[in-house]
């Protein structure tokens, strides 16, 4: 029978529930326990797919094509053996949608549909389904205790704890212990009030994770335990760390995994954290560094590119260097010369995915510089589409564009696809107002890599599987034109023969891909494409050590 660990947060948001929950899951997995994780989000959106990155940060995509909360990215990066799916993230909107659909079908036999029991029953059903086949399921409740939006989730957790019993469930509560500089001490009162708020809705935490900017004294630990009715050994102190990848070790040192296993009556091996130790040793002690200019339009909120940031960090460790990210606002780059200097001083350039025309001119300026000056370039999703358009315009002389930006463009190099192909098997596109029928490619899809391509050498495999999140495709009618001019098509989708990747044959390292490799990067070993990209940046830096200006630091 699956055992459940519920994770809640109090006092303030952004304490790091997702990272903490993922760290606990990594600890348990290191003991040989089969673990999965699920995120419950209180907002009314059905999923985060249509939400602005400025509000929500990155949309993480699972293998089965679900658009989910970015915390699922942490879950996959911290766990070795569990992949997330559409069952591992659901919102209030999705719950209410499901219940209302049942009501419209008459499933409730004309009864009055209410939050209790109908909404809470649907929540419990999904929680149980997400944990099937696992020893332990960690369930993270989004938001902060006391928020009206999360009350149905909290009530469902209360009911499940009664139904499961003490030996089958555990409640872990993350709180803030603020440091008051004027008083020169940490204050426990916010944590006490947060637990009081939990108790008011029928929930008593079994474990407290106390986040703080500074170390918390043992006296305060005892005080927290006394006033919250939590075992002293279950009050876990978690001060700020140099890296999130140290947190599993911090929790292990306080024997949190032992406490959980004892609570659930699990006989397991001691946690083996040697891989985490090896990773953090390199991460925190790298002697050399490279700078990657990331040119995007959401750079004011780095969480909008969270998986890319982590993939670059992983690749840095794989290459024993620190990767500094110089964020460049693509829209401002169009008019501010100082930002172009950031691009010129970088060791590599990366243009990530995105939607809409805003900032595309600045992105293509950065792409053009990387292409003409031999700077390593990695384009992802929109970063590939713009690389193709920039090349077609400036090398071939076409009036190329995407129908996403100009539906009447004379040269629709990028466009929505139809449901059919011509007799030659070539992709046909619409470039008029009827193209609203285009559909988004989501989730893991196989691609075939061209035999003599750099991309195939990097992956060391003729076929790969990577995740997608995009609606527009490269027009197959331009393949020969591009290849004749020196831009090689290095990958095609296995199912529809859509262009998946391009590269420049006369460039030190210029690769752009339609898929999102960042979603599958792991701290243990990184991702082959990012590893090769960072290696190219190291080589470029070494070659231009004498003539480069000091690089921008992140």
Residue 147, annotated as binding a ligand: yes
Short-list 312, 251, 370, CA closest to 77:
312
* Residues contacting residue 514 through CB under 8 Å, at least 6 positions apart: 381, 384, 385, 468, 470, 473, 474, 498, 499, 500, 501
Q: How confident is the model at residue 53 (pLDDT cuts 50, 70, 90)?
A: confident
CA distance 198 to 336: 50
Residue 432: pLDDT over 60: no
**Taking residues 91-104, what's their average pLDDT?**
95
**Taking residues 70-86, what's their average pLDDT?**
94
Q: Judge whether 210 and 237 are in contact, CB under 8 Å.
A: yes
Residue 522, annotated as binding a ligand: no
pLDDT for 433 equals: 39
Residue 446, annotated as binding a ligand: no
Residue 182: pLDDT over 90: no
* 122, 381, 390, 473: the active-site residue: 381
Tokens found for residue 372: 């003409």
Backbone φ/ψ region at 389: left (φ over 0), alpha (ψ -120 to 50), beta:
alpha
Beta bridge partners of 511: 378, 503
Beta bridge partners of 445: 466
Tokens found for residue 551: 């690089």
Residue 420: pLDDT over 50: no
Residue 426: pLDDT over 80: no
In SS3 terms, 206-241 reads as CEEEEEECCCCCHHHHHHHHHHHCCCHHHEEEEECC
Token pair 């829209």 is at which residue?
331
Name the percent of the chain lying above pLDDT 70.
94
Of 169-173, 242-246, 422-426, the one with minimum mean pLDDT is 422-426
Fold exhibited by the domain 287-544: Rossmann fold (3.40.50)
* 470, 503, 518, 540: the active-site residue: 518
Token pair 């995994």 is at which residue?
257
Contacts 24+ apart (CB under 8 A), 69-72: 69/18, 69/39, 69/41, 69/142, 70/18, 70/303, 70/306, 70/307, 71/17, 71/18, 71/21, 71/22, 71/39, 71/140, 72/37, 72/39
3-state secondary structure (DSSP) of residue 403: coil
Q: How confident is the model at residue 151 (pLDDT cuts 50, 70, 90)?
A: very high
CA 95, 97, 100 angle in degrees (round to 5)?
Answer: 110
pLDDT for 496 equals: 85
Residue 13, annotated as binding a ligand: yes
pLDDT for 547 equals: 67
Q: Judge whether 67 and 49 are in contact, CB under 8 Å.
A: yes
**Taking residues 500-506, what's their average pLDDT?**
96
CA 288, 337, 398 angle in degrees (round to 5)?
Answer: 100
Residue 165: other Cβ atoms inside 10 A = 8
* 314, 516, 527, 540: the active-site residue: 516
pLDDT for 301 equals: 83
Residue 255, annotated as binding a ligand: no
Mean pLDDT of the chain: 91
Residue 141, annotated as binding a ligand: no
Q: Judge whether 345 and 552 are in contact, CB under 8 Å.
A: yes
Is 516 a catalytic site residue? yes
pLDDT for 338 equals: 87
pLDDT in tens, 329-344: 999 998 888 889 999 9
SS3 content of the chain, % helix, strand, coil (to 5): 40, 25, 35
CA distance 295 to 494: 30
Short-list 493, 449, 450, CA closest to 474:
493
pLDDT for 550 equals: 52
Residue 437: pLDDT over 50: no
Token pair 């076409």 is at which residue?
398
Residue 148, annotated as binding a ligand: yes
The answer to whether 3-278 and 287-544 have equal CATH topology is: yes
Residue 428: other Cβ atoms inside 10 A = 14
H-type alpha helices, 132-254? 151-164, 189-200, 218-228, 247-253
Residue 367, annotated as binding a ligand: no
**Taking residues 279-291, what's their average pLDDT?**
95
Residue 499: pLDDT over 70: yes
* Residues contacting residue 499 through CB under 8 Å, at least 6 positions apart: 473, 474, 476, 479, 489, 491, 492, 493, 514
Q: What is the largest CA-CA distance in the chain?
A: 78
Q: Judge whether 86 and 62 are in contact, CB under 8 Å.
A: yes
Tokens found for residue 332: 């401002």
**Taking residues 15-28, what's their average pLDDT?**
94
**CATH number for the domain running over 3-278:** 3.40.50.300
Residue 438: pLDDT over 50: no
Residue 526, annotated as binding a ligand: no
Of 365-379, 395-409, 455-469, the one with minimum mean pLDDT is 395-409
The structural domains of the chain, with segments of one domain joined by +, span 3-278, 287-544
Name the percent of the chain lying above pLDDT 90.
79
Residue 325, annotated as binding a ligand: no
pLDDT for 407 equals: 87
Phi/psi for 407 (5° steps) reads -65, -20
- Side-chain-side CA neighbours of 304 within 13 Å: the count stands at 20
pLDDT in tens, 114-127: 999 999 999 999 99
**Taking residues 389-397, what's their average pLDDT?**
97
Short-list 387, 429, 424, 382, CA closest to 407:
429
Is 518 a catalytic site residue? yes
Parallel/antiparallel/unpaired status of strands 441-449 and 463-470: antiparallel
Alpha carbon 88 to its chain's center: 14
Token pair 């939607």 is at which residue?
355
Residue 553: pLDDT over 50: no
CA distance 523 to 88: 21
Q: How confident is the model at residue 422 (pLDDT cuts 50, 70, 90)?
A: very low
pLDDT for 302 equals: 79
Q: How many helices (H) does the chain have, and how many strands (E)?
A: 19, 25
């Amino acid at each position: 029978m699956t055992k459940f660990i519920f994770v809640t947060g109090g006092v303030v948001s952004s304490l790091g529930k997702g990272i903490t929950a993922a760290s606990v899951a990594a600890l348990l997995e290191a003991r040989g326990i089969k673990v999965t994780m699920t995120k419950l989000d209180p907002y009314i959106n059905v999923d985060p797919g249509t939400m602005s990155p400025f509000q929500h940060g990155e949309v993480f995509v699972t293998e089965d094509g679900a658009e989910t909360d970015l915390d699922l990215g942490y879950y996959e990066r911290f766990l070795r053996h569990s992949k997330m799916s559409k069952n591992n993230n659901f919102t209030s909107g999705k719950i209410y949608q499901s219940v209302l659909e049942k009501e419209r079908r008459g499933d409730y036999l004309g009864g009055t549909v209410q939050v209790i029991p109908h909404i809470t029953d649907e929540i419990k059903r999904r929680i149980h389904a997400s944990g099937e086949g696992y020893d332990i399921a960690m369930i993270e409740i989004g938001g902060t205790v006391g928020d009206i939006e999360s009350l149905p989730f909290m009530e469902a957790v209360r009911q499940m704890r009664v139904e499961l019993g003490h030996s089958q469930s555990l409640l872990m509560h993350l709180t803030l212990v603020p440091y008051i500089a004027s008083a020169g001490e940490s204050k426990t009162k916010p944590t006490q009030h947060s637990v009081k708020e939990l108790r008011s809705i029928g929930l008593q935490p079994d474990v407290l994770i106390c986040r703080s900017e500074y170390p918390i004294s043992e006296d305060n630990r005892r005080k927290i335990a006394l006033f919250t009715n939590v075992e002293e050994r279950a009050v876990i102190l978690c001060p700020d760390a140099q890296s999130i990848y140290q947190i599993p070790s911090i929790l292990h040192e306080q024997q949190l995994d032992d406490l959980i296993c004892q609570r659930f009556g699990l006989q397991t091996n001691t946690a083996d954290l040697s891989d985490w130790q090896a990773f953090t040793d390199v991460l925190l002690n790298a002697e050399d560094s490279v700078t990657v200019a990331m040119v995007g339009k959401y750079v004011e909120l780095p969480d909008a590119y969270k998986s890319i940031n982590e993939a670059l960090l992983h690749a840095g460790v794989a290459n024993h260097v620190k990767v500094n990210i110089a964020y460049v606002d693509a829209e401002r780059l169009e008019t501010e010369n100082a930002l172009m200097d950031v691009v010129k001083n970088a060791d590599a350039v990366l243009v990530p995915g995105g939607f809409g025309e805003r900032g595309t001119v600045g992105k293509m300026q950065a792409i053009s510089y990387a292409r003409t000056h031999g700077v390593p370039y990695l384009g992802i999703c929109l970063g590939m589409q713009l690389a193709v358009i920039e090349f077609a315009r400036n090398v071939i002389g076409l009036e190329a564009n995407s129908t996403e930006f100009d539906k009447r463009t004379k040269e629709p190099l990028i466009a929505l696809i139809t449901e059919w192909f011509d007799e030659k098997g070539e992709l046909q596109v619409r470039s008029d107002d009827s193209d609203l029928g285009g559909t988004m490619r989501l989730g893991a899809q196989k691609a075939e890599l061209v035999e003599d391509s750099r991309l195939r050498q990097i992956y060391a495999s003729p076929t790969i599987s990577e995740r997608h999140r995009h609606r527009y495709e490269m027009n197959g009618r331009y393949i020969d034109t591009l290849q004749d001019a020196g831009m090689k098509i290095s990958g095609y989708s296995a199912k529809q023969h859509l262009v998946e990747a391009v590269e420049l044959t006369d460039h030190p390292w210029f690769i752009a891909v339609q898929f999102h490799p960042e979603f599958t990067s792991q701290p243990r070993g990184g991702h082959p494409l990012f590893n090769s990209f960072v290696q190219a940046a190291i080589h470029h830096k070494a070659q231009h050590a004498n003539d480069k200006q000091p690089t921008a630091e992140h």
